A and B are shown apart, each in its own frame.
Chain A
Amino acid sequence: MTEHNDAPIKALWRAQSTGVPAMSVSYVRHRTGELHRAFRIRNWLEQGAGLLALAGCSVVILLAPHPWVKSAAALLLIGAAYGMWQWRRRTAPFRTDPSESSAASLSFYKRELERKRDIHRTLWRWYVLPMAPGVIAMLGWNFFGDPQTRGTSAPWGVLGMLVAWLVVSMIYERYKAAQCQREIDALSALGEPER
């Protein structure tokens, strides 16, 4: 076989026009700032909603006249606080290490997808379930304790909304978990690199 000469194709490759201009430091700084702002706002909203729920429960505990309601609010508060803590712990953004080699980076990315999938799959257990005792106690008060709502359709309406929210959330989480799984499968199909 003659000597391989791939210099012309390399030169051709490097000389091709890609049609996408490079970016300046100021533009990249501006755009990443925008993305960070959007991310921070979303976090503030999530944390803010949780803090509002905690504050609301605290007010009920302090002001409600009936011990049943106080206990239900306390259970809700504990459940919500636990859920928020778990949310922060489990969804802490992972940092990629750009200094890792490509092979290590792909393996790392796959592990991170698995972690994300597991968050979606188990959300009900550590986020929804801890709030169940408080919700059940509060609904129990509305169904059987509160003279204003006992025997009316109001508690059924609340229960219906809760069940609907639960079903929609579960479907959404299953969909997101399946989405992660498909990406994991695609990555697995690419094969683990030999070292």
Chain B
Amino acid sequence: MDGLSPDRPWDALPRSAETADAADRLFARAVAEFGPAIARIAYANEANRELRADLQQEIYFELWRSFAIFDGRCSLGTWVYRVAHNMAARHVTRRQRLSHRELCNLEEIIEPIDPHDAARQLDDEQRLGLLNTLIGQLKPLDRQIVLLYLDDLDTAQISEVTGLSMSHVGVKIHRAKRLLVQLYEGHQS
């Protein structure tokens, strides 16, 4: 269960989280269901271990505060992903100001491995390293799309979280897919 589709009966939520108890319950549920996803978002957006822990902490604080105004109009999953990605995007922007590192979009990114290289010979750790390097080069919104896609969200769900049109997300996913397959299997044409 990804928790993103609000029409699913098992994902029914209270219409309002006015009481602290309701907010606490929502927070506990969000952590239980999306804790690993939040950790991955922090991991993909900050390489430094201490800063990553800070970022994850900031996301949790913002999430807990946000449940005071959660009204159930979107699913818990959409809400959690939006809060987490918004915090991560701000973190990336602040870090980019300090590092002066150029970020690019999916269309501009340099392919992570030589197409003629034997990608099958890479082990999982190396693949993850390359994947993290690739994600780390992306601008925040493209980064979000790739991360949401890796978390197995479909185009409609990614569109709902990011606010981008489905066609725009579709184009980005097409490019992301190509890079991901290449990363895992090597170039096949």
Q: Verify A99–B73 contact, CB threshold 8 A.
A: yes
Identify which of residues 1-55 in chain A touch chain B, using a CB-to-CB cut-off of 8 Å. 1-2, 4-6, 8-10, 12-14, 16, 18-20, 22-25, 28-29, 31-32, 35
Nearest residue (CB) in A for B67 is A98
Measured CA separation A182–B49 after assembly (Å):
25
Q: Please judge, given known A-B contacts A8-B184, A18-B36, whether A102 and B82 are in contact too, CB under 8 Å.
A: yes
> B23: shortest Cβ distance to chain A, in Å?
9
Interface residue tally on A, bucketed by range = 35 or more
State the main secondary structure of chain B at its contact with A: helix
CB-CB under 8 A from B40, the residues of chain A are: 13-14, 16, 18
Identify which of residues 145-189 in chain B touch chain A, using a CB-to-CB cut-off of 8 Å. 149-152, 160-165, 168, 177-178, 180-181, 183-185, 188-189
Partner of A182, one of B42, B52, B82, B97: B97
Measured CA separation A18–B131 after assembly (Å):
14
Q: Verify B189–A1 contact, CB threshold 8 A.
A: yes
Q: Verify A29–B151 contact, CB threshold 8 A.
A: no
Measured CA separation A193–B172 after assembly (Å):
12
Q: Verify B24–A25 contact, CB threshold 8 A.
A: yes
Identify which of residues 112-130 in chain B touch chain A, using a CB-to-CB cut-off of 8 Å. 124, 127-128
What is the number of residues of chain B that contact chain A, defined by CB distance less than 8 Å? 69
B interface residue numbers (CB < 8 A to A)? 24, 27-28, 31, 35-36, 38-40, 42-43, 49, 52-53, 56-57, 60-66, 69-70, 73-74, 79, 82-83, 85-86, 89-90, 93-94, 96-97, 102-103, 105, 124, 127-128, 131, 139-141, 144, 149-152, 160-165, 168, 177-178, 180-181, 183-185, 188-189
Give me 12 A-to-B residue pairs in the complex whose CB atoms sit less than 8 angstroms apart, sorted by A's number: A13-B128, A18-B40, A18-B43, A25-B31, A99-B69, A100-B163, A102-B162, A105-B82, A106-B86, A183-B94, A186-B96, A189-B102
